[in-house]
Chains A and B, each alone.
Chain A
């Protein structure tokens, strides 16, 4: 029971990373990136492809070795490149033509299926793993957690901290926020909108790839892994507030725990009251139901405020 809270925290870390990728696109370019979940999957599979050439090596305690770190870095680079290329080829013309919102969404929706089919074509439908080793568990207070999972949690916290520092304490990060707030004013004060857009897309690519690799490391690689998390990522973005790093992290953890712990809690409730509902099939929809509730009562998100006010 308590173990599912830990599972939720680990899932929440990946949701946060994927959600931040979507959040940055939303912040600067004003559309919800439906392709975000599929890029997440692609990032994970990219690392798998690189691992075909890189010897894994080994680290103490965890199942993976330095090879995976290198593959992760390469996957970050390739996702940044892919997402920038997509942005420049498809979205920039729309932006500069001043096309209606609809076109951004339709394009993102189309890209979702394009990349999904590419993933299926390249890697097939079967489940895959980076490593076949048996992870070492750490047990305390009746719960067990693998060292891989501990690595994921710590790495996520480090990444969020670096991102936070970058966004609020460097010139480039502040320029990014200024552009999001008022792009014309920012342009006048010498910040190039195009550069900022590219930078944002690159950051989004890095975060998305990391989230995907972490998911592949702790759970499994499967072609629909990102799409099933898409609703949870949207939850983190909407609830956390666009571009608000800590808000997204908090919301990501909340939704991760809700999915894992909340569904087993509800299952106990249904079993006790005799309602014949099996929660297993509804785990992924739980995040969405929570999202709808929040959208109805708090359409601006929970952790409100424009990111500049911090």
Chain B
């Protein structure tokens, strides 16, 4: 039970950071960015390559400290986000979604095929977990503490950001793009800023996850785990609400991991269990969208309450 709570803290915090970034793009600015799993992988791989000690077959062996690694991961994801934005931000809503989905798949294809960079499908192991030599048997608790501390910093910054004029403008863009444009605001620039900041948080989340797991390969960052499950976290918490995202991340991850434990008692072939879980998550997302679009704790329309719905 203790071990389970420590694991929940580590994973919940990593997913919360990721989901806040996701929510910034999807919930606040209304960017349907589907390259998110690629961005998480970019953050994870960058941090892992920088912090692991030397290993044959791929670049690495820098052995830098944890904090440098995850920050570099965030910066790398931000740079990739900016590149993606440069290519895709002028596109219409649907085209943007398609182009970013393709870019996400392209990123994963790079991580899978460029063995000199990432060791391909064999992945990279021996990822250091900070404080694990000091904490001994409580390594996961120590890492959970670090993760939650990072989450608190990220949350406070994100709250400050979305409650600033900048955040209100993002909501205005989502609610009525043309009106915002008529007010003389550079919509493209605001979207780009949201895209880059959100991508950095996703990279950070992906990196925190990698250091918790200790081993990653391209399959660690599938679209199910890093685009589909976070969607439930955002939608369940209520899109456009950072507290909701954190709540969603912990509740959904908690339920997801508990279901793994209970699934062992069910008379079902173990091969089928991941698919049953995916099915349940999908049905939940669709039911929430259909019957309770505002989620558990939603957000009232902040700017133009007269338009839309």
- Is B67 part of the contact surface with A, judged by Cβ < 8 Å? no
Interface residues of A in 112-142 (CB under 8 A from B): 113-114, 116-118, 120-121, 124-125
- Is B122 part of the contact surface with A, judged by Cβ < 8 Å? no
Which of A124, A281, A288 lies in contact with B113, CB distance below 8 A? A281
Interface residues of A in 68-93 (CB under 8 A from B): 90, 93
- Is B135 part of the contact surface with A, judged by Cβ < 8 Å? no
**In terms of DSSP, what is the predominant structure of the interface of chain B?**
helix
Q: Name the CB-closest residue of A to B27.
A: A102
Question: Is B105's CB under 8 angstroms from A285's CB?
Answer: yes
Q: Name the CB-closest residue of A to B113.
A: A281
- Is A220 part of the contact surface with B, judged by Cβ < 8 Å? no
Q: Name the CB-closest residue of B to A227.
A: B223
Per-residue CB contact flags for chain B residues 32-46 toward chain A (1 = under 8 Å, else 0) read 101000000000000
Question: Is B98's CB under 8 angstroms from A234's CB?
Answer: yes
Cβ distance B165 to chain A, nearest Cβ, rounded Å: 23
Interface centre among A276, A277, A288 (most CB of B within 10 A): A288
Per-residue CB contact flags for chain B residues 9-52 toward chain A (1 = under 8 Å, else 0) read 00000000000000000100010101000000000000000000
Name which of A43-51, A148-156, A250-258, A289-297 contacts chain B.
A289-297
With a cutoff of 8 Å between Cβ atoms, the chain A residues found around residue B282 in the complex are 110-111, 113-114, 117
- Measured CA separation A244–B112 after assembly (Å): 36
With a cutoff of 8 Å between Cβ atoms, the chain B residues found around residue A282 in the complex are 109, 113
- Measured CA separation A98–B102 after assembly (Å): 28
- Measured CA separation A295–B86 after assembly (Å): 13
- Is A2 part of the contact surface with B, judged by Cβ < 8 Å? no
Question: Is A117's CB under 8 angstroms from B279's CB?
Answer: yes
With a cutoff of 8 Å between Cβ atoms, the chain B residues found around residue A295 in the complex are 88, 91, 95, 99
Question: Is A102's CB under 8 angstroms from B102's CB?
Answer: no
- Measured CA separation A110–B235 after assembly (Å): 11
Q: Classify chain B: how many residues form its interface, as a range.
A: 35 or more
Question: Is B105's CB under 8 angstroms from A291's CB?
Answer: no
Q: Name the CB-closest residue of A to B107.
A: A285
Which of A32, A90, A116, A296 lies in contact with B87, CB distance below 8 A? A296
With a cutoff of 8 Å between Cβ atoms, the chain B residues found around residue A292 in the complex are 87-88, 99, 102-103
Q: Name the CB-closest residue of A to B94.
A: A32
Interface residues of B in 60-97 (CB under 8 A from A): 87-88, 90-95, 97
Q: Name the CB-closest residue of B to A231.
A: B102
- Is B228 part of the contact surface with A, judged by Cβ < 8 Å? yes
- Is A55 part of the contact surface with B, judged by Cβ < 8 Å? no
Question: Is B106's CB under 8 angstroms from A288's CB?
Answer: yes
Question: Is B289's CB under 8 angstroms from A106's CB?
Answer: yes
- Is B272 part of the contact surface with A, judged by Cβ < 8 Å? yes
- Is B275 part of the contact surface with A, judged by Cβ < 8 Å? yes
Cβ distance B231 to chain A, nearest Cβ, rounded Å: 7
- Is B308 part of the contact surface with A, judged by Cβ < 8 Å? yes
Cβ distance B292 to chain A, nearest Cβ, rounded Å: 12
Question: Is B95's CB under 8 angstroms from A117's CB?
Answer: no
Question: Is B276's CB under 8 angstroms from A101's CB?
Answer: no
**In terms of DSSP, what is the predominant structure of the interface of chain A?**
helix
Number of A interface residues at 8 Å Cβ cutoff, please give it.
45
- Is A304 part of the contact surface with B, judged by Cβ < 8 Å? no
Question: Is A106's CB under 8 angstroms from B235's CB?
Answer: yes
- Measured CA separation A111–B290 after assembly (Å): 12
With a cutoff of 8 Å between Cβ atoms, the chain B residues found around residue A103 in the complex are 289, 293
- Measured CA separation A105–B289 after assembly (Å): 11
Q: Given A106-B231, A113-B278 in contact, is the A299-B95 Cβ separation under 8 Å?
A: yes
Which of A100, A110, A117, A120 lies in contact with B308, CB distance below 8 A? A100
- Measured CA separation A109–B228 after assembly (Å): 8
Cβ distance B285 to chain A, nearest Cβ, rounded Å: 4
Question: Is A113's CB under 8 angstroms from B309's CB?
Answer: no
- Measured CA separation A296–B87 after assembly (Å): 7
Q: Name the CB-closest residue of B to A288.
A: B102
- Measured CA separation A231–B26 after assembly (Å): 22
Question: Is A117's CB under 8 angstroms from B275's CB?
Answer: yes
- Is B281 part of the contact surface with A, judged by Cβ < 8 Å? yes
Q: Name the CB-closest residue of A to B120.
A: A281
- Is B153 part of the contact surface with A, judged by Cβ < 8 Å? no
Q: Given A110-B231, A299-B92 in contact, is the A285-B275 Cβ separation under 8 Å?
A: no
- Is A107 part of the contact surface with B, judged by Cβ < 8 Å? yes
Question: Is B98's CB under 8 angstroms from A238's CB?
Answer: yes
With a cutoff of 8 Å between Cβ atoms, the chain B residues found around residue A288 in the complex are 102-103, 105-106
Interface residues of B in 225-247 (CB under 8 A from A): 228, 231, 235
- Is B161 part of the contact surface with A, judged by Cβ < 8 Å? no
Question: Is A105's CB under 8 angstroms from B94's CB?
Answer: yes
A-B contact pairs, 27 of them (CB 8 A): A32-B97, A34-B97, A93-B290, A100-B30, A101-B93, A102-B30, A106-B235, A109-B34, A109-B231, A110-B285, A111-B286, A113-B224, A113-B228, A113-B278, A114-B279, A117-B282, A121-B279, A231-B101, A231-B105, A276-B116, A281-B109, A282-B113, A289-B106, A291-B99, A292-B103, A295-B95, A296-B87
Supply 8 further A-B pairs (C-beta < 8 A) apart from A105-B32, A114-B286. Answer: A34-B101, A100-B308, A102-B26, A110-B289, A116-B278, A231-B102, A282-B109, A292-B88
Residues of A within 8 A of B (CB): 26, 31-32, 34, 90, 93, 97-103, 105-107, 109-111, 113-114, 116-118, 120-121, 124-125, 231, 234, 238, 276-278, 281-282, 284-285, 288-289, 291-292, 295-296, 299
